[in-house]
Chain A
């Protein structure tokens, strides 16, 4: 059988046809090889093209603008690093940097602590659990404008809900909007209200990936719920916590919509709640100084990169003594976080 097949080749395809077939085959295989090499690039190209157009180009162009005197409605003039000198000698910049940090701490810390508590509660078996879980995300789905306008009424000086509650416990009403700390607290409350649920859901997802037998083992060892939370949940959540801290830090650095709608672009009579975002907006669209606004944008960008590196660096440093498993988990979360 095998001999006949080798000794009797099919007659019709003669030598020339066979040559053609061979060259066709090699073209095909070349194309195939080309496809194998090029196709992955073609598949990822859309992302990079979009990123170049909407991510990289604005970034580089903003850098370019920041080196110019560019008034809204007139032409650019090269001024080198003048804008940066102006920025770093400007009290208002340091003020806004400081206010960004204080409002950031006032909003991020309670927000993450509340979120972890809520996630812990939602992790228990209970009636209508999904309804509670979905309701967590509702504030996040509300627009910044809507929630800020409502909270501006709540924190109103005359007839505001917050002052009414204070009056119930015998405290005099505050001028929330015009005070220093009071305005910052009000803004922090808006931010906290919007983002707590979002973070709670992320923590909840993290909690569900902690194996149940760890809790069983802890319970067998006599740990109560609080001890379980401290010694099982928290260590298991560490990569998730790092992720939320990084994301919240970035959000806090870019805080803009809430203070703008709460009190306007000056951020109060003494700029007491003028964040970096507001400061940038004021330069660009309040005063029409686009060059200076671009400078603020770049400095903010570099600041955010610095903060993220600091955050992850601290986490790495803390993990050095721990087992490698923890570090791998951290690494994984970073990968998840990227897109």
Chain B
């Protein structure tokens, strides 16, 4: 259930990031804090379901896992950035 809540937040953040932007999301970068209960494996497993039907469907997920226990966001997951590609230039 905790993961579901996190994923819902990430999904909402991805929608807001894509809102008003031209182009399609092709890369999503996520940072996982050292004290977050989310693992990279779990995020990758959920990624297809998390992005299905949304602006990040088919986007490549890039994950950075922090080992810094003293980081102020160590207990969180951060959607760092997204790369957008212009539609007309897509094959």
A, B: real partners: no
Interface residues of B (CB under 8 A from A): none
Interface residues of A (CB under 8 A from B): none
